[in-house]
Amino acid sequence: MAAKARGAGRQPKPQKNPQKSAAILKAAEAIFARKGFHTATIAEIAKKAKVSEATIYEYFSTKEELLFDIPAEKISAYHEKDVEIIGYLHGAANKLRFLIVRHLELYDNDPDYANVAMLILKGNRNFLNTEAYQIVRKAARFYVEVLKEGVQSGEFRKDINPHLVRAMIWGTIEHTVIRRSLLGAPADLTALADDIYETIFQGIRRQPREPGFVLKLQPEDSGR
């Protein structure tokens, strides 16, 4: 009976409000981007989000969980939009250029997220064990699918390694984003999309066959 009485007095955990959760994540993104993960405090995040510290812990168990949920929300939204739009594009080359533009826009439109993703999350081993990391991997596989499509359609060379090409594209983009996060340049990431695309495309596109010709030789008539 005593146990029942104690249980009856408990208040159920409040249902999460999507708007409040989004506000907390956005505030955390801004604070982490400016102060770093270890220096930032839940009190600072709560103040910026205009909620209490207790409210944050109702939504996120730890500061690290709060950090990991930032890319989960961001990448998931971008990937869903990519899937929606890419269905209207014709040809693997056009799709590849679209993915590069969108990838750069992700960081160009939100410098705070760029700082969190490139300067904090990339160095956190625990991130590799999260659902958020699986969402990032899903977005990365989209590149591989487009590259394989290009091989099958004959737009891209048959001997390319789609995973390696994807790594080259992502590595170039991430290096450029890190440079801007640390040095402030280049200011316009999206403006680099064509250069990145053309450099990659020239290496993976299927080369047209050179027109051939047949040379016929006739021996001279020795009787003449």
**Within this chain, do residues 118 and 180 fall inside the same structural domain, yes or no?**
yes
pLDDT of residue 217: 53
Summarize pLDDT for 182-191 with one digit per residue, the tens.
999 999 999 9
Q: Is 123 a member of any domain?
A: yes
pLDDT in tens, 85-97: 999 999 999 999 9
The tally of domains found in the chain comes to 2
For residue 190, give the CATH number of its domain: 1.10.357.10
Instruction: Give the CATH number for residue 40.
Output: 1.10.10.60
Burial environment of residue 21 by CB neighbours within 10 A (0 to 12, 13 to 18, 19 or more):
middle
**89 and 123 housed in the same domain:** yes
Alpha-carbon distance of 78 to 83, in angstroms, equals 9
Residues 128 and 148 reside in one and the same domain: yes
165 in the same domain as 183: yes
Under the banding of pLDDT at 50, 70 and 90, the label for residue 211 is low
For 169, the domain range is 68-204
Residue 210 pLDDT > 60, yes or no?
Answer: no
Residue 4, classed as helix, strand or coil, is helix
Q: What confidence score (pLDDT) does residue 7 get?
A: 39
User: Region 46-58: what's the mean pLDDT?
Assistant: 95
Q: How many whole angstroms separate alpha carbon 70 and alpha carbon 83?
A: 20
Residue 120: inside a domain: yes
Only one residue has tokens 């505030």, namely 27
Asked whether residue 146 is domain-assigned, the answer is: yes
Query: In whole angstroms, what is the distance from residue 65 CA to residue 62 CA?
Result: 5
Model's pTM, two decimal places?
A: 0.81
